[in-house]
Copies of this chain bind each other. A is one copy, B any other.
Amino acid sequence: MKIKVVKNILDANEQMAAENKVLFKKKGIVAINIMASPGAGKTSLILQTIDALGERLAVIEGDLASTFDAEKVGKKHVPVVQINTDGGCHLDAAMIRTSLEKLKLDGVRYLFIENVGNLVCPAEFQLGEDRRVVVASVPEGDDKPFKYPGMFATVQAVVLNKMDVLPYIDFSVARFLEGVRAINPKAPVFQVSCRTKEGLSDWIDWLKKIAS
């Protein structure tokens, strides 16, 4: 019974996600779903990406509570809307649909969707996005791909952030990459620091290729 209800919710979400996908394609928008643990650097990556990409971006910010992230993005003068899930552990396709009505999308080429900070539940919910990306960070430890395989299996790219603190943390890049490869043989892994801007150019090139 419990499983059946969950299946119905997921099926309804998939239907709505498929509709979002059609809408994005019609408007010529590349939608990127950014997922991560709390504090891995999703917002920092989006801010750096806004700075690097000349093309027009829009952002949907997902959080349980607060508007901090939308305020940071708003200072960059790009269209942004904040979703507060009020305790909800992930974004779903219906939330994205509602948010789209509040965003000026004319001329927008990339829509960044910052999911709720959670390495588990967002993996289960399609939003209609073109690409799914997980941001991991060095202080979280090199075992995360092994421990959260559902998330690392569902993405088309991995961003390993906070490389600048590597000297101060017990973290093996080789073991992290081994974990990613065991679960997801194809996804590129971008080793970056949003603080020092190290390694961001490969990430930006990857984004440009998607939209070309």
Taking beta carbons and an 8 Å cutoff, which residues of A are in contact with B?
A: 2, 5, 9, 37-39, 63-66, 68, 87, 89, 116-121, 124, 137, 139-141, 143-144, 146-150, 162, 164-165, 168-170, 195
Contacts and interface: CB of A to CB of B under 8 A. Distances in A.
B66 A146 contact: yes
A38 B176 CA distance: 14
A154 to B, nearest CB: 11
A65 B146 contact: yes
Given A87-B124, A168-B168, 7 more contacts: A37-B117, A38-B148, A65-B148, A116-B120, A117-B147, A117-B148, A137-B139
B146 A68 contact: yes
Given A2-B9, A121-B89, A140 B38 contact: yes
A15 to B, nearest CB: 16
7 contacts: A37-B37, A37-B38, A38-B140, A64-B150, A117-B119, A120-B121, A121-B121
Contacts of A146: 65-66, 68
Contact of A120 (B64, B141, B147, B148): B64
Contacts of A120: 64, 87, 89, 116-118, 121
Contacts of A65: 146-149
Contacts of A144: 38-39
A195 B148 CA distance: 23
Contacts of A89: 89, 118, 120-121
